[in-house]
Amino acid sequence: MYSQPALHQDYLPPHLTTLMEIDTQAIAENYKTLCSLAQNSSCAAVVKANAYGFGLQEVSSLLQQEGCQDFFVAHLEEAIFLKTTLKNANIYVLSGLLPETAEFFVNNSLIPVLNDFGMLEYWAYEAKLRGKKLPCVLHIDTGMHRNGFDRKDTEKLFSSLEMLTALEPKIFMSHLASSHDPKDPLNEQQRRLFESLQTQLPSMKASLADTGGIYLGSAFHYDMVRTGKGLFGLYPSDSLRPCLNLRARILQIRTALKGESVGYGATHLLTRESKLATLGIGFVDGYDRRLSNKGYVLIQGFKAPIVGRISMDYTVVDVTDIPESEYYAGSWVELVNDTLSLDMLAHEIGTISRELSTRLGNRITRLYR
């Protein structure tokens, strides 16, 4: 699942057709920036979905070197894999406990995020069975309506707080639904509810803010903030740096005549004799098909528009207006860089940058600089 090849040197083997260059210094600086914005809180890293597509092992190891000790993933299999990389870290599983999974948590020293009363009962039972307190996180929903104790389960929790004595609750958390929009009144509504719930619980650390929540200000920070997309510059802030350069090689250059079509379904008709370059990247690599006839790539700073549909393994671009000295079969073109960001591509096709980053496929070689 996370076995894509990685390079750590400047030499690029000639057989490579696609390449993700990941700027580890940018990731480290983004982490430091986010820590400084929430300087009175600990800063946890959310590294689910293969660290948003940037490499779970490499990113987590880097962040641990920068002082991060708390890591959140979505699912148990991610946590078990991460434990092989991070021996001395707190690893939290956002999806919590499924039936018959307690052994995996205990044997790998993983911490479940308890999302409903059934999980609480299960984990308390396991703690009593083993005769020791087991660590956990309590997640109470304050408005997302996705994960976390709902109203009924929250009422059960408050009437059964003695169950917590069998456990070691480390954090009380919730998740903001609209932190990307600082003007949304739901942010303050959730914060007030969060504080109201906090007063009814035994003393433990509190965590509400994701990356967007960090930028909402100190009132949202509490004891721990949890940053994911901000680590990779996938958040609109001048204080964060993008970390990705995505490249593909030109495989072939051809000339096509006026009136001829390009690609499946003949969705692009040429209005002039054109020079076309076929790139070795397609939607199987995560280069989104919705960019067909919309996006462009950069060749030595020149824009080369995508023509025709992006297919499984190939993308065709029009290089007619680019000097022939700037490209050749085997040369690299840039699909994502600091000026042509994932956020820009996402905006073009009506999605978000995380959808694009997490789809970047295992066939793309990762190079960490």
The one-letter amino acid at 357 = S
Residue type, 243: C
Q: Is 87 a catalytic residue?
A: no
Q: Which of 32, 152, 258, 264 is catalytic?
A: 264
DSSP string, 1-37: -----EE-SS---TT--EEEEE-HHHHHHHHHHHHHH
> 306: which strand partners?
317
* Residue partners of 166: CB distance under 8 A and separation at least 6: 124, 127, 128, 133, 134
- Token readout for 34 is 């986010």
Per the residue annotation, which of 48, 170, 229, 287 is the catalytic one? 48
- Is residue 17 within 8 Å of residue 197, measured between CB atoms? no
Query: Which of these, 16, 105, 4, 122, lies nearest to 53 by C-alpha position?
Result: 4
Token pair for 288: 């989104």
- Residue spans of alpha helices (H) in the chain: 24-37, 48-52, 56-65, 76-83, 102-107, 117-130, 151-158, 185-198, 211-214, 342-349, 353-359
Neighbours of 221 (CB within 10 A): 22
Paired strand residues for 302: 299
- From 167, 159, 259, 177, select the one nearest 213 (Cα to Cα): 177
Catalytic: 48?
Answer: yes
- Which amino acids are annotated catalytic? 48, 264
